[in-house]
A and B are shown apart, each in its own frame.
Chain A
Amino acid sequence: MEDVWVAAAAARVGAAWLAAVLGLIVLPSVLGISLGISEAYMWVLVKTLERMTVNSQNYFLMWLPFPSQGIIERDETPMEKEIARLHPADFEFSDILYFCRKGFEAIVEDEVTQRFSSEELLSWNLLTRTNVNFHYISLRLTIVWVIGVVVRYCFLLPLRITLAAIGITSMIVGTTLVGQLPNGSVKNYLSEVVHLTCSRILVRALSGTIHYHNKENRPKKGGICVANHTSPIDAIILTNDGCYAMVGQVHGGLMGVIQRATVKACPHVWFERSEIKDRHLVTKRLREHVADKSKLPILIFPEGTCINNTSVMMFKKGSFEIGGTIYPVAIKYDPQFGDAFWNSSKYNIVSYLLRIMTSWAIVCNVWYLPPMVREEDEDAVQFANRVKSAIARQGGLTELPWDGGLKRAKVKDTFREEQQKNYSMMLVRNGSIG
């Protein structure tokens, strides 16, 4: 008898919960309005963190963090000047000094490896994962931290998982339904509605607060949208504000189901694994898509891999050979509330999503930059670098010429030979050879 009563009560609580979620979160997403719940939450969060850090006098909350731009002072004098300074003319022992120092600087700190670990914070945000050297500080702080854990895991996490489930299900169901309609403007309109709604639900599932700047530069149809890559949720961040045609590889599992469903409603470009290898095929398909001015802009992440959002790495030139107008977008996450960077060599996607969903929030700024076109005398690589600079400048990120693929592979020999060639050409010029 009691069991039935308990079960009934639980069912009613569950129903009330679901109703609250639907009413307060899902419905506004459909309509595209905001009830201000997220804003209120963020305000409370910010105030709490501020008070926590100010109140802990005389304690170090965290070992002195090092700024992400580096810890050693690098002498940026180019090789020619430095060696000319060391000796006026011929080859001497001292040339080895330059390379020696460069080598040691690289050993103490190299620019590439530090881009594949999470950005360090200047003050702790009450998440253990950001407190590298955690140790007991004060009772008060520990209590607050415990409350934080309870809030995050027992309240926020179930809420977010519910929302994510609703979002993904409605995406699959919605796009399948829309896909049944005949092609036409009604279908396109409904497809946009479905995509936007589901994106909004998913963004709320992450407690995302996104500020969009310069909306007048938003990517238009027939264009290519290019952005820096930090995590798989970049796509959701962008689709929250507009519709894009995604480009990517066909996956299996849940992702594959989503891909198959969405492509019925909207012309996303999904490649089979074998097709990806053939660059010409890829370029051709993308060109066809872009040429059709009625199709949605395609979304590409030219870095090819996730970087930790402190810098922008080499843009692969493939995306810039397609032609058309490029709409660059800069995305910068605020690491104070949650680290969005996906270190794919350290965490798999499930543990990554779990970390994201147990963070405080995802806060980011998105800047739409004015469109760029490839100029007459530029080749794809130069154009790619120009776009990269624009994005880095806007987002306040450092620019690196390195290839994101270095996360997994070694430096190409061509780079090393380049350096050595420069050096030996200098020697030849100085007339050291008879």
Chain B
Amino acid sequence: LGLSRGTQTPIPSLLSPTVTSEQIEHLHRRFKQLSQDQLTIRKENFDSIPDLEFNPIRGKIVHAFFDKRNLRQASDGLVDEINFEDFLTIMSYFRPIEMNMDEEQLDRFRKEKLKFLFHMYDSDHDGKITLQEYRNVVEELLSGNPHLEKESARSIADGAMMEAASICVGQMGPDQVYEGITFEDFLKMWQGIDIETKMHVRFLNMETIAHCY
């Protein structure tokens, strides 16, 4: 198979074998399209995707690409630009589940995806989702609706937070303050929700296309 004249990118080990080289080639083309043929992408490059404009949490999604925690570089901070390998690293959070995964792999798979979501909520990178951070997310999801006031968004957030507290900590005394949702608590909340099949981007099967031979 001849690869393109472009750079031969080493495939990050966490991607194989679920992602085939054709899919990587497609992602590479997409990367070049977004970066306008540069080697790195910056936040502004995501502005050129009309489909993404629809999305209320667009900001958080783009932010996730530059989050050092997702890029496995550090526990805090943001980078200014990412190269193709970083792009693939982020994309790997959305790879689909494989048929032949065992229990331990599945568990790790799930934890990775949930960690990604956790980082999306936890915007100050302190390892906890506080009430304020949660409110921010709800407001962003609901922004743009002129009929819904800020108060309503807040009360939704507060209610959900209380529910989270009751699941994680159980009954709290009147003096106890619930500081925030840690990652362990977060995992508890997502128990029972089938994230592995919901949080993936599935490539169409390429082998069915006839090629000239």
Please report A residues at the B interface, Cβ cutoff 8 Å.
53-54, 56-67, 70-73, 86-87, 90-97, 99-113, 122-124, 132-133, 135, 402, 406, 410-411, 415-417, 419-421, 423-425, 427-428, 432-434
Contacts and interface: CB of A to CB of B under 8 A. Distances in A.
A162 B186 CA distance: 73
B142 A72 contact: no
21 contacts: A54-B212, A60-B1, A65-B211, A87-B193, A93-B121, A93-B190, A94-B190, A94-B193, A99-B61, A102-B54, A106-B54, A111-B51, A113-B48, A113-B50, A402-B50, A423-B142, A424-B141, A424-B148, A432-B159, A433-B155, A434-B155
Nearest to B145: A424
B160 A411 contact: no
Interface of B: 1-2, 4-5, 22-23, 25-27, 30, 33-34, 46-58, 61, 91, 94, 117, 120-121, 137-138, 141-145, 147-148, 152, 155-156, 159-160, 163, 186, 189-190, 193, 195, 198-204, 206, 209-213
B55 to A, nearest CB: 5
B50 to A, nearest CB: 4
Contacts of B25: 63
B27 to A, nearest CB: 7
A99 B53 contact: no
A25 B141 CA distance: 64
Nearest to B213: A57
Given A104-B61, A107-B49, A124-B212, A421 B202 contact: no
Contacts of A424: 141-142, 145, 147-148
Nearest to B211: A64
A64 B198 contact: no
B152 A433 contact: yes
A137 to B, nearest CB: 9
A34 B6 CA distance: 48
A59 B213 CA distance: 6
Contacts of B51: 105-106, 110-112
A56 B212 CA distance: 8
A107 B137 CA distance: 21
Nearest to B1: A60
B203 A406 contact: no
A420 to B, nearest CB: 4
B204 A104 contact: no
A18 B205 CA distance: 54
Nearest to A415: B54
Contacts of A90: 159-160, 163
Given A100-B57, A420-B145, A432-B159, A110 B195 contact: no
Given A100-B120, A106-B49, A433-B152, A71 B137 contact: no
Contacts of B144: 416-417, 419-421
B55 A110 contact: no
A82 B141 CA distance: 16
A110 B52 contact: yes
B213 A99 contact: no
A122 B210 contact: yes
A99 B64 CA distance: 13
Contacts of A64: 22, 206, 209, 211
Nearest to A102: B55
Contact of B201 (A101, A124, A428): A101
Nearest to B64: A100
Contacts of A103: 52, 55, 57-58, 61
A61 B202 CA distance: 27
B52 A107 contact: yes
A133 B2 contact: yes
A286 B194 CA distance: 57
Given A58-B213, A72-B204, A73-B202, A104 B94 contact: yes
Contact of A92 (B33, B160, B204): B160
A110 B49 contact: yes
Nearest to B4: A133
**B4, B141, B147, B209 — which one has the most chain A CB atoms within 10 A of its CB?**
B141
Closest 8 CB pairs of A and B: A106-B51, A420-B144, A411-B53, A110-B51, A123-B212, A103-B61, A424-B145, A417-B144
